[in-house]
Every structure is written in structure tokens, then in C-alpha cells.
Structure 1
Amino acid sequence: MSFLPATANDLPSSLTSANPGSSSPALASLSAGIVPGLVLVAMITSVAYSARNVSGFALFSPMILAVVAGMIYSNVLGTPAHAKAGIAFSQRRLLRFAIVLLGFQLTLGQVAAIGVGGVGIIAATLGATFVFTVTLGRLIGVDRKLAQLIAAGTSICGASAIVATNIVTDARDEDVTYAVAAITLFGTIAMLGYPLLAPVLGLDQHAFGLWAGASIHEVAQVIGAGFQDGAQAGETATVAKLTRVAMLAPMVIALGLMARRGNADSSAAKPPMPWFVVAFVAVVALNSLVTMPAAVHSAIALATQIMLTMGLAAMGLQADISQIRSRGLRPLALAFSAFVFIAAFSLTLVKFA
């Protein structure tokens, strides 16, 4: 795979005028154009990780804190023009590569461990929630692309799903930021509230873990809620959630096909199967066949989180708060409705299916 821009229009002007036979000056010029933005994104990412050590912020993942920090920086200080190339690189290339690396967090054996019934509950919940959210969004007048982002974030895996879906839907940066913020809000409510409901609903640890994994938004939020009810609940919740993550690939493919079908000019439509989806599936297969040392697995997981955090920091740096405010409260109401739906639908299946 190549992280270099695909066309001459994506390159800095200094590259297009360089001698074709001289690759070193071209690469140096490219690096010079990207480095300032990468440094700024890395600084925002460092702030996000540091903020987690502050009392009250430990509940939030670095990805969420990075979005907020990036928004504050860009809307208070402004984003330097010379940093835009590196910011765009982080938002697109790093994010796609990070989504591929997410495959190392899942094996086919883990999916099999929760059984056919568990996988069926997760798949049914995902599909029903996505359709419900998109349909309700259309009925209450939420922009189609923003509704799809909220649907993906609620039904699959929070911010990571929003980022992956946006590669196909191509929504505005402000829409991505709005969707991440809404998903974070209701996912945090679920993380804190679900453990309190377990005894009231009469759920044993396996049932609670399946419910949490099938319906809470972010992986970190699922782990936080699951292990509050016990080790078995935490392990079941984690595997159920990772199974939802695996379903990110077919969902993005389906959205790509919809985009192609809805565009009269098929040559201009998004490809039905983006390369990162194919790579994600391949990595899951590799991770299922090859046992990596624990240290290597941990290093990949950390690198994945850092790259995801840098990508979301870049989105925050390009988000205009005034544009987010202009969206109003309807998208927030949509996210809340999706949150209630996925919690109730999955609980019904867990209890009675």
C-alpha cells in the first residue's frame, strides 16, 4: 500500500515542477509539506493522552479527547496554512491504516466462542439499529450523510466506525465531529448506567456481557461496563464487541454499493469495496492463523490507538464549531433515539431469543 497522494493534484506545487528524474528532492519536498501538520497533530495527540491522567477525564478514550483538543486549538488559535497537508495526511492515510490494524484485535475463534446465537443477536441488532437510525434521520430531516455516520457509530463501534464509514459517505468534517461527540455522550451514559441495571433486569454475567457488547458504542466503554459486573461479563462483552467490529467490513461494502447505485455516473461513485476493508479482513484471517507474541500484539494495539487518535485529532483541527452548531439539535435527538433503540432491541433479544 502507498501513503503517497494518488494524483498530481494531491501533491504540493513544488513536486509537480520538480525534475521527474530526481526522486530525492521530490520526497524531501513532500516530507517538508507533511511534517508541520504531523507535528501539530502529534502535539494534540500527546495532550489527549496526558489529559487522561487528569481526574474526571479517565473515562474518555484518547480519541475523544483528541477531537475536543483539536477543536479547541483550531477554533481559538486557528490552524496554520502550512500544516494543512500533514493534517490531511493524518485524517486520511493514517486513519485507513489504523482501521486495517484493528483486525489484529480479532480472531475467528473469538467470534465462534460466543456461539451462533450470540453472533445472530449481534448481527440482528447491528442491522436493525442502522436501518432504524437512517430511516428516522430521514423522517426528522437530518442530513443523510450525518445520519449514516450516527447510525454506523451507534450500531458498530463508535468513532472507528464513523471514520471508516466517512471514507465511503464523504461527509463534511463538521458532521464527523458532531457524530463522534454524540456517540461519545450516549456511550458514556451506557457505560455508567448498564452495570446498575444488571441486577434489576435479572441478567447473569454471560447475558449482561452479551448485552453490553452488542449495544454499547465504543470498545473502551464496553470493557469499562462489562468488567464492572465481573470477569466473565467483561470477557463476554469484549468478544461480543470485537465481533461487531468485524462486521464493519460488510457494512462499509454495503454503503459503497449503495453509493455506486445512487450515483448516475458510476465512474464517479465510490468503489464498492475500499482497499482498507479488504486489508482488514485479511488481517483478521492472518491473526486467526498465526499466534503472535504478546509483546508484539500489545505494540500493534498501542500503535493502532495512537494512529486512530492522530486521525481524530486531525478532524478536530479542521472542525468549525459554528458549522457544528448550525446542525441544531435534531442530530443529537437522532443519536439519543438510536441509543435507546439499540439498548432496548438487543436486551429483548438477549432475554427472549
Structure 2
Amino acid sequence: MKLKHILFWAGLLLCLTPVLTSPTALVLGFFISSLGLIPEGLAITKMTKKLLSYSIIGLGFGIPLQQALSVTSHGIGIVIFTIIGTLVIGSMVAKVIGLNSKTGHLIASGTAICGGSAIAAVAPAIEADDDQIGLALGTVFVLNSVALFVFPMIGHLVGLNQQTFGTWAAIAIHDTSSVVGAASAYGTEALKTATTLKLARALWIIPVAFFSAFLFRSESKKISIPYFILFYCLAIAITDLLPQWQVFYHGIFMVSKQLLVVCLYLIGCGISIGRLKQSGPKPFIFGVSLWITISCSSLAWLLTHPL
């Protein structure tokens, strides 16, 4: 076996262990690709799309339906406003700066709902390519890292209580893992509020994925139905109707999270330096601008409408 094959598969196997996180897997894949270590004839894009779908279905087993619906009902107004507002503003800004529409929509979807998971769910629905997915994920991961440190500092600076900070973190921080990290640093009550509300927002992957499929339908006017979202819904329903199998569901959820890490590695392997140069700084500028807009507007609303 060639050395490039060994290194590629070794990197993939490493993604199946707790050693690598999602961001590091993406970077590792990009590094492998940059060194020209991708085996010839390997259908990475096809592999990635299938694994993404399977991962999203499995993640559905980690969504507590009743708890998520309860939290959504209490904060339905701000949830709907921020999700729709982020997608609309994102679409407008992407057009103004000349950013690729699919890349812009992926970043906006990740900002609106739950970061990498939302991007992974929306990507196959709009038939995004690896470069578009990679740019969106890279932007979101960088902002997640910043949020872990910046949000608690701002929260203490403006004197947010535990519940208000938890709500703000769930709205304005992309990935659930980063929401949990920032909220846990702020306090126990903030962590409970942020985690529950973030899981509730994850339910919005379903309508957003279907809307995205309709929005980016082909010229033939045929809509590519994201069937995996239907199985995602089924997984959520099963956990609610048959709660006695929670240990089994948790196992599927954890395996799916690890498969998502593998997906990010494969996405990184499919990104080329040439295309990154062609895209320029626009995706990152777009992501930062959208994030600051949503973070500041939601914070302003929470300060004037204390919980």
C-alpha cells in the first residue's frame, strides 16, 4: 500500500477516536489534501454526502422532544424572529458582497440554528459541494472558538443573570458544544437554560432543510427532497414514544457525533487551496458580520426584556 493511502486512512481512523474534535478533523483533512495524500479514484464527495445524512439521522436520537417543545413554546417569538431574521439578512448581505449563494446560505443556516449540525443537514438539501461546506464550517468553527471566551466576559460586563445569559448564548453561539462551554463557565442555571433552548432550536433544522431544498431547486423546478430529514424526525419521535431504550439511543447519538467528525475530515480532504484563494476573505467577513448583527440585536432585546 502506498504511503499516501496509509496516511489518509490513518487520519480517518483517528477521527473515530476522541482524540480529534470536529475543527481539528477539518484542518487535518485540509492538511492531508494540501500535501497531495488523497488516494486516486476515491469518491470523497459521494462518501461525505452519505455519511452526513446518516450522521444527522443519528443525531435525532439525542433530541428530547417534549423538553425541546416546552422550551420552544416559552420563547417561540425570539426563536422564530432570530432564525428567520438571520436567514433573510444573510441572503441580502451575501448578494451585496457577491458571495456564492450556497456558501452564504450554509453560513446563515449555521448561524441561525446550531452551527455545524445545521450546515451538515442543509448541505445535501441544496447539493452544496465540499468547498462550500468547508468554507461554511471553517467560518463557524473559528467564531465558536471566539465565543467561548468573549461571551462570558460580555455577560459579566453587562450584568446578565443566569437565565438571560443562557438564552443569549443559545441564540447567538453557533454549535451546541460551544454553547455548553460558554454557559457552563457562566453558571449552572445558565447551562441548563442554554442547553435546553439550543436543543429546541435544533428542531428547526427540519423546516429550514425543506425550505432550503425548495429555495435551491434546479432549473427544471424539481425539488430535491431531503429524505434524511424525515428519518431525523422519525428518530426524534422514536425516542419520545419508546423512552425505555434511552441507553441504546444514547449510543447511536454518540456514534453519530463521531461519524460527523469523520465527515468533517473528508470535507477537509475535498477542499483545494486554489478554490480557497478564489473565494477570498468574503465568507469569513460575511460570517463575522452576520454573527455580530445577531449577537448584538439579541443582546439588546434581552437587556430591554429581562427574563
- Deviation of the 1:156 alpha carbon: 1.3
Q: TM-score, normalised by structure 2?
A: 0.91
Task: Say which of 39, 48, 72 aligns to 1:91.
Answer: 48
The equivalences for 1:68-217 within 5 A come to 68-82=27-41, 84-85=42-43, 87-114=44-71, 116-217=73-174
Task: Confirm whether residue 298 of structure 1 aligns to residue 255 of structure 2.
Answer: no
Q: TM-score, normalised by structure 1?
A: 0.79
Other-structure match for 1:308: 260
What code does the residue aligned with 1:44 have?
L
Q: Deviation digits for residues 213-257 of structure 1, max 9, x if unmatched? A: 111001110000011111111111111111121101100111112
Instruction: Tell me the distance in 2 between the aligned counterparts of 1:349 and 1:103.
Output: 31
Q: Deviation digits for residues 149-168 of structure 1, max 9, x if unmatched? A: 11111111111211221112
- Deviation of the 1:295 alpha carbon: 3.5
Which one is further off, 37-46 or 276-285?
37-46
- Deviation of the 1:42 alpha carbon: 6.5
- Deviation of the 1:47 alpha carbon: 5.5
* Identity across matched positions, percent: 26
Task: Say which of 251, 274, 284 aligns to 1:332.
Answer: 284
Q: 1:38 to 1:292 in 2, by over 3 A?
A: farther
Other-structure match for 1:15: none
What code does the residue aligned with 2:183 have?
G
- Deviation of the 1:283 alpha carbon: 1.4
| Structure with the greater alpha carbon radius of gyration | 1
Q: 1:280 to 1:294 in 2, by over 3 A?
A: closer
Other-structure match for 1:265: 220
What code does the residue aligned with 1:75 have?
S
What code does the residue aligned with 1:257 have?
F
Other-structure match for 1:65: 24
Task: Confirm whether residue 352 of structure 1 aligns to residue 294 of structure 2.
Answer: no
Instruction: Tell me the distance in 2 between the aligned counterparts of 1:120 and 1:287.
Output: 27
- Deviation of the 1:344 alpha carbon: 1.4
SS of 2:271 mapped into structure 1: coil
SS of 2:216 mapped into structure 1: helix
- Deviation of the 1:94 alpha carbon: 1.5
Q: Deviation digits for residues 174-199 of structure 1, max 9, x if unmatched? A: 12111111111112111211111112
Instruction: Tell me the distance in 2 between the aligned counterparts of 1:348 and 1:90.
Output: 43
- Deviation of the 1:349 alpha carbon: 3.1
Contact persistence 1:169–1:255 (CA under 8 A): yes
Q: Deviation digits for residues 62-96 of structure 1, max 9, x if unmatched? A: 121111101101111331114x13x3453011110
Contact persistence 1:66–1:313 (CA under 8 A): yes
SS of 1:79 mapped into structure 2: coil
- Deviation of the 1:51 alpha carbon: 4.8
Other-structure match for 1:224: 181
Structure 1 portions without partners, runs of 5+: 1-35, 53-61
Task: Say which of 6, 12, 17 aligns to 1:44.
Answer: 12
Contact persistence 2:16–2:258 (CA under 8 A): no
Q: 1:117 to 1:103 in 2, by over 3 A?
A: same
SS of 1:326 mapped into structure 2: helix
Instruction: Tell me the distance in 2 between the aligned counterparts of 1:290 and 1:138.
Output: 46
Contact persistence 1:101–1:300 (CA under 8 A): yes
What code does the residue aligned with 1:235 have?
K
Instruction: Tell me the distance in 2 between the aligned counterparts of 1:50 and 1:103.
Output: 21
What code does the residue aligned with 1:169 have?
I
Number of matched pairs = 302
Q: Deviation digits for residues 110-149 of structure 1, max 9, x if unmatched? A: 1244253423212211111111111101011111111111
Instruction: Tell me the distance in 1 between the aligned counterparts of 2:235 and 2:126.
Output: 24
What code does the residue aligned with 2:71 have?
I
Other-structure match for 1:245: 202
The equivalences for 1:7-18 within 5 A come to none
Q: 1:37 to 1:211 in 2, by over 3 A?
A: farther
Structure 2 portions without partners, runs of 5+: none
